[in-house]
C-alpha cells in the first residue's frame, strides 16, 4: 500500500544501504534465511562492543522472550530486500548505548528501534536517551523509531490546586483521574513532572484508590534537591485480580507547584485521556525520524490508530514526523496482523532505504526528509503537520510513466517525482496490538 512493489520492479531495493534493527525480543523463533535472507546478528548485552552473535535459544530475561524483533526485521526485508541487514540485541538503556556506539563505528546508514524509554526525561528532547540520539546523528546514523502506543493512556497538564488542599485538580473541582486497569497487570500507572533539571524543587506523591476512597497503591518517593538519584517520578502498580475502574490522585508534599505533570499507563486506559504530547523517548527528539501508525486496510483514507501517540512534544517539537501502516502480515504474527507503531517504524526505515537506493547521493537523513515532502495528505502545504500523522501517510510516489491508482486517494505533499513486544488484547478493542 506504500507503492514499494513498483520501486522493486524498477530495481530500487535498498541495495548498498546498511540498516540495523535494534530490538529486545529475538528469542521466540529461529532466525533463518527463509524469511530474512542474509543477515548478521550482534549481542550488545554479552559484550559492549556488540561483537558476539546472538544466541537466540538463550534469553537471559523473561521480557526478552518473543519474536517482536524478528517481525520488525521481516518487514524491513520484505520492503527493502536489497539492504545489508543487521539484527541487534537491545534490551535496555545500557545495551542501547552499546548499540549506538556500534552503529557509528560500523558505518550504519540507519537503525530502526520499536521501543520506548520511560521516565528519563519529560519527553522534551533532553536526558540520557536523547543524548544517544544526538550521538547517532553526529555519527551519520539516522534513528527511525516508533512514536509509542500511548494516546489513550496519557494525561498532561499543569499542577492545579484552586482550593488550596495540596491535592491536584485534573479539571475544575475534580481531584481524581479515572483509570481502567486490567486484572493482573504487570505495569500500572506512572506520574512524572517537568523537574528533571531541578529535581527536588517539588515533591509530589501519588496514590490509586477505589471509588469509596480505599487506597490500593501509593508511591511516596522523596524528591530532595542535590540528592543522588533524585527523580521526579512516582510509580504505582496495584494488585488487581479483575479488571477495575480505579482513581489516580496526586498530592503535593512540599515545594513550588509550578510544573507540568504527566500521567501515563502502558497497561490500561484513561477515559479522560489527552493524546497530545504522548510521544515518548527516543521519538520525542527532533533528530529522530518518528513514526505514527495507520491501519493498513484502507490505509490512505485512515486516521491514526486510536493508540498511536501524538505530538507535539513538551518542547514544542512537531512529532511524529510521518505515519506508516500497521496491521501488516508477518510470519511471526500471521494473519492476525502486526499492530502498533512497532510495525510502522520498520516500514518507514525500509522506505528510507529504497529512497537512498534510488538517489545514491542522499544520506538517510535527506531520504527521510524526502519522504516527508512526498507524504500523502489532504492538508494544504500552508497548514502545520498533523499531531498524529506528521507530514502525512508515508508513500513511495509512482516512477516515471507509472499511474497513481494503486496508491489510492490522497494529495501529494510537495513535488511528484515521475518515481510490545508481545501482543495483548484490550478490553474495548477486538484486535491485537503490541505493548
Q: What is the pLDDT confidence band of residue 312, given thresholds at 50, 70 and 90?
A: very high
Among 84-88, 235-239, 251-255, the least confident range? 235-239
The residues spanned by each domain of the chain are 4-149+278-377, 151-265
> If we measure between CA atoms, which residue out of 171, 151, 168 comes closest to residue 269?
151
Asked if CATH classification 2.60.120.380 holds for the domain at 151-265, the reply, yes or no, is yes
Find the helix or strand (DSSP H, E) in which 356 lies.
helix 341-358
Average pLDDT over residues 304-332: 96
Average pLDDT over residues 207-219: 96
Average pLDDT over residues 268-276: 97
The topology under which CATH files domain 4-149+278-377 is: Rossmann fold (3.40.50)
Question: What pLDDT, on the 0 to 100 scale, is given for residue 427?
Answer: 32
Q: What is the pLDDT confidence band of residue 87, given thresholds at 50, 70 and 90?
A: very high
CB–CB of 309/268 below 8 Å? no
pLDDT at 433 over 70: no
Question: What pLDDT, on the 0 to 100 scale, is given for residue 411?
Answer: 34
Task: Encode pLDDT of 11-57 as tens digits.
Answer: 999 999 999 999 999 987 777 777 899 999 999 999 999 999 998 88
User: In the numeric block, which cell numbers belong to residue 192?
Assistant: 512524572
According to DSSP, the residues that pair with 144 across neighbouring strands are 112, 289
Between these two residues, 410 and 330, which has the higher pLDDT value? 330
Average pLDDT over residues 232-236: 97
CB–CB of 6/69 below 8 Å? no
CB–CB of 42/2 below 8 Å? no
Angle between helices 128-138 and 93-105 (to 10 degrees): 10
Question: What pLDDT, on the 0 to 100 scale, is given for residue 188?
Answer: 86
pLDDT at 71 over 70: yes
> Percent of the chain scored above 90 by pLDDT?
80
| Global model pTM greater than 0.85 | yes
Question: What pLDDT, on the 0 to 100 scale, is given for residue 354?
Answer: 99
pLDDT at 82 over 80: yes
Between CA 119 and CA 1 the distance in angstroms is 36
Among 105-119, 146-160, 218-232, 396-410, the least confident range? 396-410
Strands 289-295 and 177-181: unpaired
Q: What is the pLDDT confidence band of residue 401, given thresholds at 50, 70 and 90?
A: low
Question: What pLDDT, on the 0 to 100 scale, is given for residue 43?
Answer: 96
Question: What pLDDT, on the 0 to 100 scale, is given for residue 414?
Answer: 28
Q: Which residue has the cell 498533523?
A: 386
Question: What pLDDT, on the 0 to 100 scale, is given for residue 402?
Answer: 55
Between CA 220 and CA 234 the distance in angstroms is 7
Strands 260-265 and 289-295: unpaired
* Centroid of chain to Cα 353: 20
Q: What are phi and psi of 327, to 5 degrees?
A: 70, 30
User: In the numeric block, which cell numbers belong to residue 379?
Assistant: 492538508
Task: Encode pLDDT of 285-309 as tens digits.
Answer: 999 999 999 999 999 999 999 999 9
User: In the numeric block, which cell numbers belong to residue 15?
Assistant: 541495495
Question: What pLDDT, on the 0 to 100 scale, is given for residue 357?
Answer: 98
Between CA 428 and CA 273 the distance in angstroms is 15
Q: What is the pLDDT confidence band of residue 59, given thresholds at 50, 70 and 90?
A: confident
> If we measure between CA atoms, which residue out of 265, 268, 240 comes closest to residue 184?
240
Could you give the maximum distance between any two Cα atoms of the chain, in Å? 69
Which residues have a Cβ under 8 Å from the Cβ of 217 and sit 6 or more positions away?
188, 207, 208, 236, 237, 238, 239
> If we measure between CA atoms, which residue out of 328, 389, 351, 293 comes closest to residue 112?
351
Between CA 381 and CA 373 the distance in angstroms is 10
- Average pLDDT, rounded, for the chain: 90
Question: What pLDDT, on the 0 to 100 scale, is given for residue 415?
Answer: 23
Question: 88: helix, coil or strand?
Answer: strand
Question: What pLDDT, on the 0 to 100 scale, is given for residue 310?
Answer: 98
Task: Please give the C-alpha separations between residue 198 and each of 157, 245, 255, 256, in angstroms, as whole numbers.
Answer: 19, 34, 11, 11
Q: What is the pLDDT confidence band of residue 383, given thresholds at 50, 70 and 90?
A: low
pLDDT at 429 over 50: no
Question: What pLDDT, on the 0 to 100 scale, is given for residue 120?
Answer: 95
CB–CB of 74/36 below 8 Å? yes
Between CA 195 and CA 122 the distance in angstroms is 8
CB–CB of 177/270 below 8 Å? yes
Question: What pLDDT, on the 0 to 100 scale, is given for residue 31?
Answer: 72
CB–CB of 314/284 below 8 Å? yes
Residues in the chain, overall count: 435
Question: 245: helix, coil or strand?
Answer: strand
Question: What pLDDT, on the 0 to 100 scale, is given for residue 426?
Answer: 36
Amino acid at each position: 500500500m506504500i507503492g514499494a512493489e513498483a520501486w522493486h520492479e524498477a530495481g530500487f531495493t535498498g541495495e548498498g544501504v546498511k540498516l540495523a534493527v535494534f530490538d529486545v525480543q529475538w528469542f521466540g523463533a529461529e532466525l533463518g534465511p527463509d524469511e530474512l535472507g542474509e543477515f548478521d546478528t550482534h549481542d550488545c548485552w554479552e559484550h559492549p562492543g556488540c561483537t558476539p552473535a546472538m544466541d537466540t535459544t538463550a534469553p537471559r530475561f523473561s521480557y526478552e522472550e518473543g519474536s517482536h524483533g524478528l517481525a520488525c526485521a521481516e518487514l524491513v526485508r520484505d520492503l527493502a530486500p536489497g539492504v545489508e541487514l543487521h539484527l541487534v540485541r537491545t534490551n535496555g538503556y545500557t545495551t542501547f548505548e552499546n548499540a549506538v556506539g556500534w552503529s557509528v563505528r560500523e558505518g550504519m546508514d540507519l537503525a530502526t528501534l520499536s521501543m520506548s524509554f520511560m521516565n528519563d526525561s519529560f519527553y522534551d528532547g533532553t536526558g540520557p536517551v536523547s543524548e544517544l540520539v544526538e550521538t547517532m546523528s553526529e555519527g551519520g546514523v539516522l534513528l527511525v523509531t516508533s512514536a509509542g502506543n500511548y494516546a489513550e493512556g496519557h494525561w498532561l497538564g499543569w499542577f492545579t490546586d484552586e482550593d488550596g488542599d495540596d491535592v491536584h485538580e485534573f479539571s475544575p473541582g475534580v481531584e481524581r483521574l479515572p483509570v481502567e486497569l486490567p486484572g493482573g497487570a504487570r505495569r500500572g500507572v506512572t506520574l512524572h513532572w517537568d523537574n528533571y533539571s531541578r529535581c527536588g524543587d517539588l515533591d509530589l506523591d501519588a496514590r490509586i484508590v477505589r471509588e469509596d476512597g480505599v487506597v490500593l497503591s501509593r508511591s511516596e518517593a522523596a524528591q530532595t534537591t542535590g540528592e543522588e538519584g533524585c527523580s521526579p517520578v512516582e510509580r504505582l502498580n496495584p494488585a488487581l485480580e479483575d479488571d477495575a475502574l480505579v482513581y489516580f490522585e496526586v498530592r503535593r508534599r512540599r515545594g513550588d507547584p509550578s510544573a507540568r505533570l504527566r500521567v501515563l499507563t502502558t497497561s490500561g486506559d484513561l477515559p479522560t485521556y489527552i493524546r497530545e504530547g504522548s510521544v515518548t523517548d527516543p521519538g520525542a527528539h527532533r533528530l529522530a525520524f518518528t513514526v505514527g501508525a495507520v491501519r493498513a486496510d484502507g490505509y490512505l483514507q485512515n486516521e491514526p490508530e486510536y493508540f498511536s501517540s501524538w505530538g507535539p512534544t513538551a518542547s514544542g517539537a512537531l512529532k511524529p514526523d510521518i505515519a506508516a501502516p500497521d496491521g501488516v502480515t508477518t510470519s511471526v504474527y500471521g494473519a492476525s496482523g502486526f499492530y502498533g507503531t512497532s510495525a510502522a517504524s520498520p516500514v518507514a526505515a525500509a522506505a528510507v532505504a529504497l529512497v537512498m537506493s534510488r538517489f545514491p547521493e542522499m544520506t538517510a537523513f535527506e531520504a527521510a526528509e524526502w519522504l516527508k515532502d512526498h507524504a500523502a495528505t489532504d492538508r494544504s502545504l500552508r497548514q502545520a503537520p498533523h499531531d498524529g500523522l506528521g507530514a502525512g501517510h508515508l508513500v513511495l510516489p509512482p516512477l516515471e510513466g507509472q499511474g497513481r491508482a494503486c496508491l489510492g486517494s490522497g494529495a501529494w505533499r510537495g513535488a511528484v517525482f515521475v518515481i510490545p513486544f508481545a501482543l495483548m488484547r484490550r478490553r474495548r478493542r477486538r484486535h491485537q496490538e503490541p505493548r
